[in-house]
Structure 1
Amino acid sequence: MKLPTDVRALLRRRFDNRHRDWFAAPDAGEEWPLTIPLGVPTEQAARGRLDAALAWVRAWQSWQGTGMLQWTERQWRTLGTQRMPELLRLAGPREVAAWLDEADRWDRACRREAAMVRRWPVLTGRLSRSFDVLADYPDADFERLVATLAWLERHPDSGLYLRQLPIPGLDTKWIEARKSVLAELLCRVTGRAGIDGDFHALCGLRRAPLRLRMRVLDPTLRDRVGGLGDLTVPIEELARLGLAPRHVVIVENLQTGLAFGDLPGTVVFMALGYGVDVLASVPWISKADCFYWGDIDTHGFAILSHLRARLPDVRSVFMDEPTLLAHRTLWSSEASQHAAQELPHLRPAEHTLYRALKDHVPGPAVRLEQERIAWDFVWPTLVDLFATPHAPLRGN
C-alpha cells in the first residue's frame, strides 16, 4: 500500500535519474503516461492490517495533488464493498515535477530552452545536459550567459583577454566559474570541436601568459639575470633565459621555496601544484638534474607522478617512509585523498608509501606537509647533496 509519501519518494528517484532524458524528449511515447500501482491489498492483508489500510485510504481521499487518481471497488466477504485507490497516472514530466514542488524549475527550464532554440535552432533537443543551468540560473546570470554565447559566436577569433569582452555585467570571476557551461554550449552552437579542453582556444581568446616563480640560489647564476634572485617570469621568456643550472628543485609549497638559502648551481621553483609539467617545456630545465619535494600525502605523490610523465628522471626528496615516521607528531589529515588507486610514474618505494597512505596504514588520511619537516634536518641534507652531487639522498 503506497502512501502519497511513498509515491513522492519513488518519483524523486525517478526524476533525479530521468529528468534530463525527459527534458530532451518530454513527449516520448514509451514513458507517458507514467502509471504507478498503489498496491491494493487483498482482503486477508487488509484484515491483518486494518488500521494501516484505513489510514492508506484516508490519505488518498484527502490527497489533492497533480495527476489522475484511479479508484477501484472490491467486494469482500467479511468487509463488504470497499472503494480503494488503485493507480496514479501522470501525464508528463511536468506533473512529476509538480509532485516534487519543482514545477517552477521545470517551467523555467522549458521557457529558457524555447528562447535558446528560437535563437539557435541547432540546439533543439540538445540542452538536456544544461537542465540545471536553465532551471536554476538567476535571470541576470541567464541573460549574461546568452549574451556571452552570442558574442563569442559572432567573434570567433577576437584575440581579446577575458576581461576585455564588451559584455555588460561580465567579469572574469563570473566567466571563470562558467567555463564548462559556455564551452559546451559554444561547441553545440558553432559545431566547433572542444580543442582538447582549451577554453581560450575554443573561444578565440588570448590567454594570460603563464608565469612561474623561480628563485636563483647561485650568485653566479644571479649575475646572468642582472643580480635578481626572486623572479616571476612568463614561461616563454623563462625558456629564453638559458640559465643552465646543474640542479633544479621543484617544491610544492611557496614558503618552502622562500626558505632556501644559497646553493651552488641551483634554482628552485615553487607553488605550481599540478601545473608542474609545464617545466618540461623549458629546455635548460630538462637538461638539469631535477628534484621534486612535495607534501607526503596522496596529492603530493600524484603531482610527482604527473611531473615524471614529462620529466622521467626527476628524483623525489624527503618523500619517504623514514621521513614520515620521524615526524609523526606533526602529521595532519588530508581533507580529500587523490582518487587513483595506482599512479603510473612512481618508483617502487614511492608507490609502496602511496598505497600505505591510501589504505590508511599509518593512520586515517595521514599527511605530512613539507613545511613541517625540521629545517635543521632538511637544510644540511640539501647543502651536502648539491655540494657533493653523488651524496646519498633521502628520497628516490
Structure 2
Amino acid sequence: MKLPEDVRQFLARRFRSKHREWLIGDSGDGQWPLEVTLGVPTEQAALRQVDGVRAWVSAWQGWQGVGSLSWCERRWKALGVQRLPEKLALRGPEDVALWIGESARWVRAQSRYQTITVRWPVLARQLPRYFDVLADYSDADFRRLAEMLGWINLNPKSNLYPRQIPIAGADSKWLDSRKGLISDLVATLQGDPTGERDFFRRCGLRAQPQLMRMRVLDPELRARLGGLGDISAPCEEVASVGIRPKNVFVVENLQTGLAFDDLPGAVVIMRLGYAVDVLGQLPWLQQAQCIYWGDIDTHGFAILNRARTYIPSLKTVLMDESTLMSHRDLWVEEKDQHSSTELPLLTNTEQKLYQSIKGNAWDQQVRLEQERIRWDVAWNAIQASIR
C-alpha cells in the first residue's frame, strides 16, 4: 500500500532517470498518462493490518495534490464493502515535477530548451545532457551563454582573446567554469561533435601564452642576459634564451624556487605543476643535468613520472624515504591522492615509496610539502646534487 510519501519518492526516482527524455519530448512507449498503482491489498492482507489499511485510506481521502486519483470497491466477506484508492494518473512531466517540488526548475528548463532549439534545432538531442544548466542558471548567465554561442557561431575564426568578445559579463571567471559546456555545444553547432575538444581551437579563440617562471642562479649566465635573473615569459621565448646552463632544477612550488641562492651554471624552473610537458620545448635543457624536487606525496611522484616522458634522465632530490621520515612532525594529509596504482617511469625505489604512501604504510595519506623541509637540510642536499 503506497502512501502519498511513497508515491512522491517513486516519482522523484522516475524524474531523475527520465527528465532528460521528457525534455526532448520522447515519451517512449506511450507512458503518458503515467499511472501509479497504489497497492490495493487482498482481504486476507487487510485483515492482518486493519489499522494500517484505515490509515492508508485516510491519507488518500485527505490528499489534495496534482493528478487524477481513482478509487475502487471491494466486497469482502469479513469487512464488507470497502472503497479503496487504486491508482494515480499523471498527465505529463509537469505533474510529476509539481508532485516532487521541481516545478519551477522543470518549467524554466523547458522554456530555455525551447528558446535554444528554436534558434539551433541541431542542439535538440544534446541540450538535455545539460538539464541543470537550463534549470538552474540565472537569467543573466543563460543570456550570456546564448549570446556566447551565437557570437562564436558567427565568428568561428576570430583569433581574439576571450575577454575581447563583446558580451557583457563574460569575464574570465565566468568563462573558465564553462569552457567544456561551450566547447561541446559549439562542436555540435559546427557539425563536428567528435572532433577537436580544446576550447580555444574549437572556438577559434586565442589562448593566453603559457608563461614559464625561471630564475638564473649563476652570475655569469645573468650577465649574458643583461643582468636579468628572474624571468617570466612565454615558453617559446624561454626556449630561445642565449644561455646554456649545466644544471636545471625543476621545483613544484614557487617559494621553493625563490629561496634558491646562487649556484654555478644553474637555473631553477618553478611552479609548473602537471604542465611539465613544456620542458620538452627547451632545447638547451636536453644537454643539462636536470633535477626535479617536488612534494613527497602521490601527485609529486605523478608529476615526476610525467616529466620523465620529456626528460628520461631526470633525477630527483629530497624525494626519498629518509627525507620523509626525518620530517614526520611536518606531515599533513593529502586530500585527494593520484588514482594510478603504479607509475611506470619511476625508479624501483621511487615506486616503492609511492606505493607505500598510497597504501597508508605509515599514516593516512601522508604528504610532506617541499617548503616545510628544513632549509639548511634542503640547501645542503641541493648543492650536493650538482657536485
Q: Which TM class, normalised by the smaller chain length? A: over 0.9
**Percent of aligned pairs sharing the same letter:** 52
Amino acid at match of 2:28: A
- Counterpart of 2:158? 158
Query: TM-score, normalised on structure 2?
Result: 0.94
Change (3 A) 1:70 1:287: farther
Secondary structure in 1 aligned to 2:240? helix
Change (3 A) 1:307 1:13: farther
Q: How many residues align?
A: 387
- Counterpart of 2:305? 305
Query: Does residue 327 of structure 1 match 2:327?
Result: yes
Amino acid at match of 1:250: V
The answer as to whether partners of 1:194 and 1:202 remain within 8 angstroms in 2 is: no
The answer as to whether partners of 1:25 and 1:125 remain within 8 angstroms in 2 is: no
Change (3 A) 1:42 1:266: same
Could you tell me how far 1:146 is from its partner in structure 2? 0.8
- Counterpart of 1:377? 377
Change (3 A) 1:138 1:325: same
Change (3 A) 1:37 1:330: same
Change (3 A) 1:308 1:86: farther
Amino acid at match of 1:287: Q
Change (3 A) 1:291 1:13: farther
Secondary structure in 1 aligned to 2:342? coil
Could you tell me how far 1:30 is from its partner in structure 2? 5.0
Could you tell me how far 1:257 is from its partner in structure 2? 0.7
Change (3 A) 1:184 1:381: same
Change (3 A) 1:196 1:265: farther
Query: Does residue 65 of structure 1 match 2:59?
Result: no
- Counterpart of 2:359? 359
Could you tell me how far 1:120 is from its partner in structure 2? 1.2
- Counterpart of 1:214? 214
Of stretches 148-157 and 47-56 in structure 1, the one that deviates more from structure 2 is 47-56
Q: How many Å separate the matches in 2 of 1:351 and 1:322?
A: 15
Amino acid at match of 2:80: G
Amino acid at match of 1:121: P
Secondary structure in 1 aligned to 2:111? helix
- Counterpart of 1:292? 292
Could you tell me how far 1:111 is from its partner in structure 2? 1.2
Q: How many Å separate the matches in 2 of 1:12 and 1:43?
A: 31
Amino acid at match of 1:340: S
Could you tell me how far 1:157 is from its partner in structure 2? 0.9
Secondary structure in 2 aligned to 1:355? helix
Secondary structure in 2 aligned to 1:274? coil
Q: Write out the 4+ residue segments of structure 1 that deviate beyond 6 Å after TM superposition.
A: none
The answer as to whether partners of 2:71 and 2:87 remain within 8 angstroms in 1 is: yes
The answer as to whether partners of 1:249 and 1:291 remain within 8 angstroms in 2 is: yes
Amino acid at match of 2:49: R
- Counterpart of 2:350? 350
Q: How many Å separate the matches in 1 of 2:87 and 2:287?
A: 75
Q: How many Å separate the matches in 2 of 1:333 and 1:38?
A: 51
Could you tell me how far 1:372 is from its partner in structure 2? 1.0
| Cα deviation digits, residues 272-306 of structure 1 (max 9, x gap) | 11112211121112332222211111221222222
- Counterpart of 1:393? none
- Counterpart of 1:76? 76
Q: How many Å separate the matches in 1 of 2:358 and 2:18?
A: 35
Gaps of 5+ in 2: none
The answer as to whether partners of 1:38 and 1:88 remain within 8 angstroms in 2 is: yes
The answer as to whether partners of 2:318 and 2:381 remain within 8 angstroms in 1 is: no
Could you tell me how far 1:212 is from its partner in structure 2? 0.6
- Counterpart of 1:275? 275
Change (3 A) 1:6 1:359: farther
| Cα deviation digits, residues 149-177 of structure 1 (max 9, x gap) | 11111111111111111123322221122
Q: How many Å separate the matches in 2 of 1:195 and 1:248?
A: 38
- Counterpart of 1:228? 228
Amino acid at match of 1:266: A
Could you tell me how far 1:311 is from its partner in structure 2? 2.3
Change (3 A) 1:231 1:138: same
Q: How many Å separate the matches in 1 of 2:56 and 2:46?
A: 11
- Counterpart of 2:188? 188
Secondary structure in 1 aligned to 2:352? helix
Change (3 A) 1:243 1:194: farther
Of stretches 46-55 and 225-234 in structure 1, the one that deviates more from structure 2 is 46-55
Q: How many Å separate the matches in 2 of 1:90 and 1:275?
A: 54
Change (3 A) 1:228 1:115: same
Of stretches 184-193 and 367-376 in structure 1, the one that deviates more from structure 2 is 184-193
- Counterpart of 1:4? 4
Q: What is the CA RMSD across the aligned residues, in angstroms?
A: 1.9
Q: How many Å separate the matches in 2 of 1:332 and 1:5?
A: 46
Amino acid at match of 2:305: S
The answer as to whether partners of 2:97 and 2:103 remain within 8 angstroms in 1 is: yes
Change (3 A) 1:209 1:354: same
Q: How many Å separate the matches in 2 of 1:278 and 1:183?
A: 24
Could you tell me how far 1:260 is from its partner in structure 2? 0.8
Amino acid at match of 2:289: D
Change (3 A) 1:255 1:95: same
Q: How many Å separate the matches in 2 of 1:207 and 1:195?
A: 19
- Counterpart of 1:36? 36
The answer as to whether partners of 1:71 and 1:87 remain within 8 angstroms in 2 is: yes
The answer as to whether partners of 1:24 and 1:126 remain within 8 angstroms in 2 is: no
Q: How many Å separate the matches in 1 of 2:55 and 2:242?
A: 83
Gaps of 5+ in 1: 389-396
Change (3 A) 1:194 1:319: farther
Q: How many Å separate the matches in 2 of 1:221 and 1:196?
A: 42
The answer as to whether partners of 2:21 and 2:27 remain within 8 angstroms in 1 is: no
The answer as to whether partners of 2:183 and 2:198 remain within 8 angstroms in 1 is: no
Alignment of 1:7-22 (within 5 A): 7-22=7-22
Q: How many Å separate the matches in 1 of 2:200 and 2:323?
A: 42
